[in-house]
Structure 1
Amino acid sequence: MATTTLRQLNSFDETPASLADATVILIDFQNTYTGGTMELDGYAAAVAEGKKLLEAARAAGATVIHVQDKGYDVDSEGGKIIADVAPIDGELSVIKSVPNAYHNTNLAELVDKAGKKDVILAGFMTNMCVLFTAQGAFLNGHRPTVVAQACATRALPTTAAGQHHIDAQQIHDGALATVTELYGVVVPTVGDLA
């Protein structure tokens, strides 16, 4: 059964952002997600796609903002940004304390200062910080595009419908469907950006 999204009902533009006319926000690409309790399913593939996004953004001259969650002590090894997607001189950083990177940070100001309404999002975890930052972007008048394969999450327990857990792919897909419903555009890969 076909479903009409709230975006379609509101006639929102469904054109993905272009690197030349967007700010790229890389969310919580931190080492803590590469092993142990917080290891994400498919994190290595997401980092590889995130690296492609970062390289393409730099080549296009886009403003790049790196976000870190201070809950992982950003100065510790676990809290540091993964080397393949780490910032270089001149790239901006935001430290956040909740899933929405716009909440109680200067992210909105940095995006506004860059002069672009479009933002391109990627990172960890799809169902938490990527989803809530997409919502934050939307609520701040920005136009988010999420690169699906540059995001990852993990399986989670549930008691709904008699299940014991929901696998990571289902959670990832559900979060991206929520973005698509109202907050923004989702593209599979960096190559699918406008």
Structure 2
Amino acid sequence: MSHPQTLFQLTGRTHAPATLGNATLLILDAQEEYRSGVLQLPGLDAALAEIAKLLTAARNTGASIVHVNHLGIAGGLLDPSGPRGRPLPEVAPLPGEVLVQKRLPNAFAGTDLHEQLQAQGHLDLIVCGFMTHSSVSTTVRAAKDYGYRCTVVDAACATRDLPTPDGQVISAAEMHRVEMIALADNFAALVPQASALI
């Protein structure tokens, strides 16, 4: 049996990873919930350091930046009026940077994200944030429908342990790995870490 190929390879539609000079940096849901709330992510600190590197580089080079925050449930997950909904200070938006607020995992759904990205003038997106299997995955998949080319920074994303239908647990690391493999099949170019783009 031959070695499997991605759909990108089979169709010849693969694209090279973006650079900060020709793309918009899209940071998804870098919020306190994932540090101290119910949805604590075991890989948060390492991923946050990678996001911070990307954000610093983007700011230093004048690259386009769009932050997305999830508006959660009052008194619950990602509470928009409480500390758990606040941006993580290491990567919080600065005045003048675009902030889109969403209520669904897909950051395009019910928001002006597409219009904000169009205003930035780039078809290439560099995507990072939380959680890999949820908002990162759904947003990257939707971005393809809008004609964007996504580059996902593996080490700048993280997720959590999840229960499986048979009563077992899939670890955050394995869930992240599987989702990255799925995205690389037909939805995004993958780079291992921020240094690949800086």
TM range (shorter): over 0.9
Uncovered stretches (5+) of structure 1, i.e. residues with no partner: none
Counterpart of 1:174 in structure 2 is: 178
Task: Provide the rounded CA distance (Å) in 2 between the counterparts of 1:188 and 1:75.
Answer: 35
Q: Per-residue deviation at 1:3? A: 1.5
Task: Please list every run of 5 or more consecutive structure 2 residues that lacks an aligned counterpart in the other structure.
Answer: 73-77
Q: Deviations over 1:94-122 (max 9, x none)?
A: 01111110111111111111111000000
Corresponding position of 1:38: 39
Q: Quick one: distance in 2 between partners of 1:175 and 1:181?
A: 10
- Structure 1 contact 68–74 (Cα < 8 Å) conserved: no
Q: Percent identity?
A: 39
The corresponding residue for 1:28 is 29
| TM-superposed deviation, 1:145 | 0.5
Tell me what 2:144 maps to: 138
- Report the Cα distance in structure 1 between the residues aligned to 2:11 and 2:195, rounded to whole angstroms: 27
Q: CA deviation at 1:137?
A: 1.1
Aligned to 2:70: 69
Q: Give the match's secondary structure for 2:156.
A: strand
Give the count of matched residue pairs.
192
Q: What residue number does 1:11 align with?
A: 12
SS at match of 2:85: coil
Per-residue deviation, 1:140: 0.6
SS in 2 for 1:38: coil
After superposition, give the CA deviation of every residue in 1:14-60 in whole Å (9 maximum; x if it has no partner).
31000001001100000000024210011011111100010011112
Q: Distance in 2 between matches of 1:60 and 1:136?
A: 28
Is 1:152 the counterpart of 2:153 in the alignment?
no
- Asked if the contact 2:37–2:84 (Cα under 8 Å) also holds between the matched residues in 1, the reply is no
Compute the TM-score of the two structures, normalised by the length of structure 2: 0.93
Which residue is equivalent to 1:189?
A: 193
Q: Distance in 1 between matches of 2:48 and 2:6?
A: 29
As a proportion of its length, which structure holds more helix?
Answer: 1
**For 2:185 and 2:4, how far apart are their aligned partners in 1?**
10
**Structure 1: how far apart are the matches of 2:62 and 2:80?**
26
Corresponding residue for residue 3 of structure 2: 2
AA in 2 matched with 1:56 = A
TM-score, scaled relative to structure 1: 0.95
SS of 1:29's partner is coil
CA RMSD of aligned residues (A): 1.4
Q: Classify the secondary structure of the residue corresponding to 2:17.
A: coil
SS of 1:191's partner is: helix
Secondary structure at the aligned position of 1:78 is classed as: helix
In the TM superposition, what is the alpha-carbon distance from 1:92 to its structure 2 partner? 0.2
Q: Which residue of 1 aligns with 2:75?
A: none
- Structure 1 residues 96-135: aligned runs within 5 Å: 96-135=102-141
